[in-house]
Amino acid sequence: MSVRNTAYRGNMLWIAAMIHRVSGVLLALFLPFHFLVLGLALEGEAALDGFLIWTENPLVKFAEMGLVFLLTIHLLGGLRVLVIENLPWREDHKTLATLTTSIAAVVAFVFLTRVL
């Protein structure tokens, strides 16, 4: 039986890669719900209006903040991957990974404050 080396799992860059993957999966899980809402628009004005009234719920607004966070973190994580794959390695990549998460949190917070 071989022993697997998992020491890299605590590394900031590994964590950034996992966040990028998880955000992608969560966004993919959101898509069917999004398509369902678009289908309501095709059913008629009353069906869509009923849904839009439901979206005024504060819990829905908080979930929208989470969605904006996921979109931002996934976008910035994708840019991080492009940098890693196409530019020479720099030691401050860990700092950039942390900065990516911080920017995503700020964007999501700004979105939430503008929505509420």
pTM > 0.85: yes or no? no
Is 60 exceeded by the pLDDT of residue 43? yes
Class of domain 9-115: mainly alpha
Summarised one tens digit per residue, pLDDT across range 61-96 is 888 888 888 888 888 888 878 877 787 777 777 777
Q: At 9, is the pLDDT very low, low, confident or very high (cuts 50, 70, 90)? A: low
Structure tokens at 81: 């991957």
Instruction: Please report the pLDDT score of residue 40 as a whole number.
Output: 84
